[in-house]
Amino acid sequence: MRQHKLALCKDHYLEWVPEQVERFIKKYEMFTREEKILVAVSGGKDSLALWDILTRLGYQADGMYIGLGIDGGIGYSDESHRLTEEFARKHNLKLHVVDMAQEYGLPIPVLAEVSHRGKGKPCAVCGLAKRHEMNRIARDLGYDVLVTGHNLDDEAAVLFGNTLIWEGEYLLRQGPVLPARDGLARKVKPLCRFYEREMAAYSIARGIEYIYEECPFAEGSQSIYYKELLNQLETARPGAKLTFYLRFLEARKNGNLFVEKSAAAAHLHACPKCGQPTSTDDFCSFCRLIEKTTVSAGGLPGERGN
Ligand code: Q46
Ligand code: ZN
């Protein structure tokens, strides 16, 4: 893991990931061991790994799977459902299943088509339905918190998209914890600081069977394009993705997002040497730089050799 300057063997990696998750749960005050947790499980590596980790850490975490009715020529929903059931059975965990077609009469692609929403892609309708159903189950069955497997790549892509068009409202709400409000359950993302490949590595090392295929409708999506761009950046500058996300969280926490730093500007005064404004009591940064370089070079360039 170049971004952490850390290399671990399989056994230590399988210890390290849950330890980190526990640390993030505490740091962001996500939930306690007394609370009832509902994990949204899709059959993919992130959500299954998350469910695995939370139960290993001793949290009371039940799963919830939503049957979207997406086939895409690969039996996407059937296969992800099968793998989720398999995981629950193997680990003796409680799984709630909501099948959209059974519950509302229509699978997601048809629901999207007949409602004429989303320009030929069912994703807008799908996202809406998933949010709605997760909230419904959490509320009706008395869960304290809803947990999703969004990883750093997901979060950085959303952040990048929102930043490109300065979506202030969304930026102010994005984060590892979305508090409960107006009948909506608290939502948390314990994997938000893990790279996608870290979660893939965890699932493989742990022997979790998950669905490798993405949803067929994900192809060509904006979020995949942003992920590719961020991966290019990450290759050139390891850690860039994590820094992008963490600095954002920090800025938001400190109230520095979209707030002009007028306070710092108010404390400017003239540098005793050059007279330009500086925020330190001493010489300005430029004068200090020149002083330092001339001292270490043994005088000003013109004086050298005299
Ligand atoms: S929104 Fe769209 Fe996803 Fe729903 S239709 Fe598939 S790609 S699953 S995260
Ligand atoms: Zn409603």
Mean predicted lDDT score pLDDT of the chain: 91
Q: Which CATH number fits domain 2-259: 3.40.50.11540, 3.40.50.2300, 3.40.50.620, 3.40.50.980?
A: 3.40.50.620
Which of 144, 39, 49 has the alpha carbon at shortest distance from 95? 39
- Check residues 298 and 176 and name the one with the higher pLDDT: 176
Burial code of 46-67, b = ≥16 C-beta within 10 A, e = fewer?
Answer: bbbbbbbbbbbeebbbbbbbbb
For 75, how many CA atoms within 13 A lie in the half-sphere containing its CB?
Answer: 5
Q: Is the CB of 215 under 6 A from ligand 1?
A: yes
Which of 286, 287, 269, 291 has the alpha carbon at shortest distance from 278? 269
Q: Is the CB of 175 under 6 A from ligand 1?
A: no
Which of 46, 53, 42, 59 has the alpha carbon at shortest distance from 13? 53
Which uninterrupted H or E stretch holds 91? none
- Residue keyed to tokens 């001493």: 282
pLDDT band, very low/low/confident/very high, at 199 (cuts 50, 70, 90):
very high
pLDDT of amino acid 267: 75
Contacting residues for 151 by C-beta, under 8 A, at least 6 apart? 46, 191, 192, 194, 195, 196, 198, 199
Mean pLDDT of the 295-304 span: 57
Q: Is the CB of 217 under 6 A from ligand 1?
A: yes
Q: Which atom of ligand 1 is nearest to the CA of 124?
A: 1
pLDDT of amino acid 280: 79
Query: What are the residue ranges spanned by the domains of the chain?
Result: 2-259, 268-298
pLDDT of amino acid 299: 55
Residue 240 has pLDDT above 70, yes or no: yes
pLDDT tens, residue by residue, 36-94 = 999 999 999 999 999 999 999 999 999 999 999 999 999 999 999 999 999 999 999 99
C-beta atoms surrounding 121 within 10 Å: 16
Stated pTM of the model: 0.88
Q: Is the CB of 127 under 6 A from ligand 1?
A: yes
CB 61 within 8 A of CB 18: no
pLDDT tens, residue by residue, 98-114 = 999 999 999 999 999 98
